[in-house]
Amino acid sequence: MRKLLTALCLVSLSYFSAQSQILKPVTWSYAAKKTTPTTATLYIKATIDNGWHLYSQYVKDGGPVKTTFSFPAAKGYSLVGKLTEPKPITKYESTFGMDVSYFEKSVIFQQKIKLNAKTATVKGKVEFMVCNDKQCLPPEEVEFNIAVK
């Protein structure tokens, strides 16, 4: 009985230890607002943990992986213009040996769309990379669905 209890404790400790190692410093949220009966604006918000940076869409080659959004073609809507972002912080990062543009705390990206119906569901994905002053995490992809009503 004692061996079984010891084994269960070790398994539990290793499980909780492994769970605490998973870093997810960015959470994403989504919203849409109709601006006219046939147009809408999508709002894609990244909330970033303290000490972490999420990189801009406009990072030069040779730097960190830039934030990239993709929207597959759909019948219910079409994109209008490019996805916009607010002005990022731009600083020299010795890790990359160049100036890089990034966001801290939170950022809202916006995409205008033209609706081909009264409602639509916009599907897409975002690829992004985050770093802090000690490490960079591997690039990650997150899929999303945004209902436009």
Q: Please, what are the domains in the chain? A: 24-148 (2.60.40.1250)
Q: Please report the DSSP string for 28-95 in residue order.
A: EEEEEEEEETTEEEEEEEEEE-TT-EEE-S-PPTTSSPPPEEE----SSEEEEEEEE-PPPEEEEETT
Selected residue with higher pLDDT from 148 and 95: 148
Residue 62 pLDDT:
92
pTM summary value: 0.84
Kindly report which listed range (11-20, 69-78, 126-135) carries the lowest average pLDDT score: 11-20
Q: What is the pLDDT of residues 27-85, one digit of tens each?
A: 999 999 999 999 999 999 999 999 999 999 999 999 999 999 999 999 999 999 999 99
